[in-house]
Amino acid sequence: QVVDVDYYVPGCPPQQETISQMLKAVADFAYAGVALPPKGTTIGITTKTLCDECPRKKANARITEFLDPYQVNVKDGICLMDQGILCLGPSTIGGCGAKCTKVGQPCRGCYGPTAEVQEQGASMFTAVASLLPILDDDPVCDEEKIIKIVSEIKDPLGYFYAFTMGKALIKKAVKETGGQ
């Protein structure tokens, strides 16, 4: 069941700037008669992905293993995905200022998907697949190697859908098939 709300304030926790923006809108309405944002507005987001506001440089390097941030010396200025650290920035809407990635921690997706993405988890699966070393002429990378790389992702369903499982299409598909 979904509760009808006036505004969505993303983040876990919401950023101070986002809360300030929401409170300012309410104060402007109460004290100056300024119109409130339309019902259903998500406060404090941009129209782009988190990657677009992240200062780290992306090279689209091929991922040959997935690492947790504590397993590697995170290099400043280089995309976390390029370093093998699973980051949900490609499938998450911007607005947080990339606070996590700026300090070497991967995005967890707490701002939710962009407007164009219906399924944040599927979007992330696609982003990961696009960085796997799958080349027709690569004799080194076979199906077993890909399975090994992908199996290093700990709890992909829980990680990719941590903030969006409630409205995920995959949840509806499981219900329709009776959990099969």
Chain segment 121-167, per-residue pLDDT in tens: 999 999 998 888 876 666 667 788 889 999 999 999 899 999 988 87
Domain ranges of the chain: 1-44, 46-176
Chain segment 14-49, per-residue pLDDT in tens: 999 999 999 999 999 999 999 999 999 999 999 999
Query: What pLDDT is stored for residue 53 in this prediction?
Result: 96
DSSP letter string over 114-172?
A: -TT-S-HHHHHHHHHHHHS---TT-SS--HHHHHHHHHTSSSHHHHHTTTTGGG-HHHH
Chain segment 63-112, per-residue pLDDT in tens: 889 999 999 999 999 999 999 999 999 999 999 999 999 999 999 999 99
Residue 17, beta-bridge partner list: none
Query: Tokens 């949840």 identify what position?
Result: 171
Q: CA-CA distance, 144 to 148, in Å (whole number)? A: 6
What's the pTM value of the predicted model, to 2 decimals? 0.83
Q: Which long-range contacts (CB under 8 A, 24 or more apart) does 85-90 make?
A: 86/128, 86/153, 86/159, 88/50, 88/120, 88/124, 88/159, 88/160, 89/49, 89/50, 89/51, 89/54, 90/49, 90/50, 90/51, 90/123, 90/124, 90/127
Over residues 4-19, the mean pLDDT reads: 92
Query: What pLDDT is stored for residue 108 in this prediction?
Result: 95
pLDDT band for position 177 (cuts 50, 70, 90): low
Residue 85, beta-bridge partner list: 67
* Max CA pair span of the chain: 68
Contacts of 146 (CB under 8 A, 6+ apart): 132, 133, 134
Query: What pLDDT is stored for residue 73 in this prediction?
Result: 95
Query: What pLDDT is stored for residue 180 in this prediction?
Result: 57
Over residues 113-121, the mean pLDDT reads: 87
Q: CA-CA distance, 14 to 22, in Å (whole number)? A: 11
